[in-house]
Structure 1
Amino acid sequence: MSEPVLVSIAAAAAGRAVIGLYQLIKAKFADDPEASAVLEAAEGAAEDSAEVRELAATLEEKQAADQEFGERLRQEWERATVEQHAESGGVSNQVSGQVGGNVVQARDIQGGITF
């Protein structure tokens, strides 16, 4: 079973939620038709799908064979995953991934919201 972080990376790449991460993986897989097929099969798949798990396993193999790729993969993931912190009385909002529809980020709302 792949490391949990690799499953998260695979899910983000499958959903193209982090473009830099997806592009890094796609470039690494470019010379490997089997790995490219795994990436294509995972595109748009759910995080808990067999396709994403297979992509995570392929990423694990690639990083084991190429330490520099593994480091770049994790650096890109760290850059993409930003932890937010709000001080007392503050608000922290974050929207990521593909959003279909309206999004409201707010702290205190008095009255309704209409789109």
Structure 2
Amino acid sequence: MPEPILISIAAALAAKGATGLYDVVKRKFAKNPAALAELEAASVAPTDTQPIRALAERLETAEAQDREFAEELRTEWRKLPESGATYGGVHNTVTGNVTGKVIQAGDVHGNINL
């Protein structure tokens, strides 16, 4: 089972919200059609846990085989706001045109009315 950080990295890759991170992984997987297919599968279904887990496992294998890639991957990950989110913490990322309201909150006990 991949470590939780690799699941988070895979989810960020699937959402394609992390261009630098995506580029690092795509370069690494460039000569491996199966790995590229897993990256693409996660990208077309960013909310599906199975492709994300498969991508995280592929990242785990790639890190174990290539320490330079592991360092580059982790360095790019640390540049993203998502990397600072901790268990139980709150992290919102809003991109694109926002027409509604956005709320960032930790534990909410009761209703929220806007």
TM-score in same-fold range (> 0.5): yes
What is the count of residue pairs matched by the alignment?
100
**Is the radius of gyration larger for structure 1 or structure 2?**
1
Identity, in percent, stands at 41
Using the size of structure 1 for normalisation, the TM-score is 0.73
Query: Residue 93 of structure 2: which of 92, 96, 102 is its match?
Result: 96
Query: Is the helix fraction higher in 1 or 2?
Result: 2
Q: Which amino acid aligns with 1:8?
A: S
**What stretches of structure 1 move > 4 A for 4+ residues in a row?**
97-100, 103-106
Higher relative contact order (CA 8 A, sep 6+): 1
Gapped runs of 5+ residues in structure 2?
A: 86-90, 104-113
User: Which is further off, 11-20 or 96-105?
Assistant: 96-105
Does the CA-based 8 Å contact 1:15-1:97 persist in structure 2?
no
Could you tell me how far apart the structure 2 residues matched to 1:50 and 1:97 are?
25
Taking structure 2 as the reference length, the TM-score comes to: 0.73
Paired with 2:44 and 2:95, the residues of 1 have a C-alpha distance of: 10
> RMSD between aligned alpha carbons?
2.8
